[in-house]
Structure 1
Amino acid sequence: MSKQLYLSVIIPIYNEEETILDLRNKLNDVLSPMGERYEIIFVDDGSTDKSFERLNKIKDDNVRIIQFQRNFGKSAALSCGFAAAKGEYLITMDGDLQDDPKEIPRFLDELTKYDMVSGWKFERHDPISKTIPSKFFNKLSRVLTDVHIHDFNCGFKGYRNCVVKNIKVYGELHRYIPALAYWRGYSVSEIKVEHHPRAHGTSKYGIERLLKGFLDLISVTFLVVYKKRPLHVFGSIGLLMGCSGVFICFYLLSLWFRGIKIGDRPLLMLGILLLIMSIQFISIGLIGELITNSRNNDDYIIKYDSYEPEKNH
């Protein structure tokens, strides 16, 4: 079994040929005092420029290069880096030089008190087309996830090793790693970080990220909050529809007793439809409960066990 290092720095790369060598030099200035106790993991996410060639020019035993067959996305790159990391602490950052490696010691200091630390680009040097939508989604994310940080989208983050080994990142859920960690019982903090204007290339994110971000927020909220209790969400909707349908039907029944025709009223069709949909939603919830409880998928994490003290964190 390989010896655990002190620090792993994970950097997803996608078409950043102009910045790679400069970034490596800046990282070297910050990390070289650690000697052999750190590693830098570059994950080339299917770049179509000369990024992989530039990475291969780095001759350093502390640097590990992983190349994807094609572009699989940032979540996949981070997940791969998490699996490969050997450090007690992990730092993730973007490869475009907008994140400053000089902030890494501050992350490490904060990680002595918290399980995860998220960066906050307090003075953000991005176009208004990115900053305004980002503020909206960050506020919405705080409300829905109950994680009170200001910048979910910031890629500059720090983790204890145990955090990344106990969360799953897939699809586009890298934005909501703080929420995933918080819901798994880990403490989450935030620090302000310096954010530099992009010196080379262009942003790899377009307007479609707004829709994806909103859908991912719904997905992560549903999967984490209701994964173990699907009947609560589907049953609640079903009961609301059922109560509305019963109210409508009793109202129409009272009219019928008074001799008023109800057979041609659209309200009758609505009441019947709500009752049918109520049964369907409750049935979906019950099926979800059966599937959930038939699997051995406990989500708890043991922090301390007196029987095996050497495994405790």
Structure 2
Amino acid sequence: MPDESSLTFHNQPCHEPPPDISVVVPFFNEEDSLRLLYDKLVSSLESLQRSFELIFVNDGSTDTSESIIADLQKNDSRINFISFPVNSGKAKALDSGFKASRGQLVFTLDADLQDDPTEFPRFIEKIEEGYDLVSGWKKERHDPLEKRLPSKLFNTVTSWVAGFRLHDFNCGFKLYRHEILDEIELYGELHRYVPVLAYWRGFRITEIPVRHHARPFGKSKYGWERYVRGFFDLFTVALLTRYIRTPMYLFGIPGLIILFMGIMILSFISFLQFRYGSILGHKLGRPNRRTPIDWFLTPGTGKQCSYHSKMAHVWAFCA
């Protein structure tokens, strides 16, 4: 994992006051989308009549994505970008973008054109109601079933662990007040859990439905492994939030369940040993008797295992 010194910062000299809005866009091999995305971002942001900056974070792209942003930056001083030498993951890319951002309000969205920058005014309107983080909710998703079903399970489990309900923790389209980002450092898959970490620090969280477009170019860079990593990081989040003062509750309850199961298994094996002289459940010389161990076997497997165990006892007896 590259450290801070291995990053390349392509920032314009700036002597102006901080902008009102920062937009952080991580990308990885999105050469077909970046120019279109830039046009959409500028059009939407200029309509707000607020100052802004665009922070593109190149997460180790191997195509021409970086050169496209560098070319755009030559004609627009509002563009800054950061380059990772290798793909380091979305959390690290976002974290570096957050640290470089200067706006009081910080948008994040993906570079694949599935998020719609024309939604910016709705996010701002919502956050000005007194919220600290507004998360997008892809209510009507244009993703294949193999992405929607795991996502639904993920959101259900995360809501239960977090102690509050969001329909779409995984949506990358969000608006933050900058003070949230000053308190949170991202790594692993923790970018999915920023609302949870913020909620347990006392910030106000809400969500709004957003339009979700089908990906016009390329294919998703994520596979099933992200859900595996995500659930491990969910355990970390649980430890850092609701169990930070009572970690024994997190580890103790599963420990008690495992202890109880171990005691039951040990008791059953001890009963077989003392009652029948063997943990197989019958004594030598009485191979035809049905044993308690057979109760836990399927009919076919039970007959086969019972037969082989009986034959072994007969051979031992004859020997």
TM-score class, shorter = 0.7 to 0.9
What TM-score does the superposition give when structure 2 sets the normalisation length? 0.74
Structure 2 residue corresponding to 1:44, chosen from 58, 68, 74: 58
In structure 2, runs of 5+ residues without a counterpart are 1-14, 280-319
Whether the 8 Å contact between 1:36 and 1:62 is mirrored in structure 2 is: no
Distance in 2 between residues matched to 1:152 and 1:36, nearest whole Å: 28
Residue 75 in structure 1 maps to residue 91 in structure 2: yes
CA contact (8 A) 2:162 2:242 kept: no
SS at match of 1:81: helix
Residue in 2 aligned with 1:62? 78
SS at match of 2:186: coil
Equivalent residues of 1:152, 1:176 under 8 A apart = yes
Match of residue 146 from structure 2: 129
How far off its partner does 1:179 sit? 0.8
Measure the CA separation in 1 of the matches of 2:56 and 2:153. 31
Aligned residues: 261
Percent identity of equivalent pairs? 44
- One-letter code of the match for 2:134? V
- Per the TM alignment, residue 135 of structure 1 is displaced from its structure 2 partner at its CA by 1.1
Q: 1:223 aligns with which of 240, 264, 280?
A: 240
Match status 1:105 vs 2:121: yes
CA–CA separation in structure 2 for the residues paired with 1:233 and 1:128: 33
- TM-score of the two chains, using structure 1 as the length reference: 0.75
Check if 1:85 corresponds to 2:101: yes
Q: 1:265 to 1:104 in 2, by over 3 A?
A: farther
- After TM superposition, the structure 1 = structure 2 runs for residues 1-313 of structure 1, keeping only pairs within 5 Å, are 3-33=17-47, 37-58=51-72, 59-112=75-128, 113-236=130-253
Distance 2:254 2:219 in 1: 44
Q: CA RMSD in A?
A: 2.8
Query: Cα distance 1:153–1:240, how it changes in 2: closer, same or farther (>3 A)?
Result: closer
Q: In structure 2, what is the Cα distance between the partners aligned to 1:195 and 1:240?
A: 43
Consecutive unaligned residues of structure 1, counting only runs of 5 or more, are 267-313
Q: What is the Cα deviation at residue 221 of structure 1?
A: 1.3
SS at match of 1:122: coil
1:138 Cα offset (Å): 1.1
Q: Indicate the structure (1 or 2) with the bigger Cα radius of gyration.
A: 2
Tell me: CA distance 1:168–1:10, structure 2 relative to 1, closer, same or farther (3 Å).
Answer: same
How far has the Cα of 1:231 moved from its partner? 3.5
SS of aligned partner of 2:172 = coil
Q: Please list the CA deviations of residues 215-274 of structure 1 after superposition, one character each: whole Å capped at 9, or x if unmatched.
A: 222221123222343344344555667788899999xxxx9xxxx969x897xxxxxxxx
Q: What's the CA shift string for 1:287-310, capped at 9, x where partnerless?
A: xxxxxxxxxxxxxxxxxxxxxxxx
* Distance change >3 Å, CA 16–CA 265, structure 1 → 2: same
Distance change in 2, residues 1:132/1:248 (3 Å)? closer
CA shift, 1:190, in A, is: 0.5
- 1:46 Cα deviation after fit: 0.6
1:155 alignment partner, SS class: coil
Match of 1:305 in 2: none
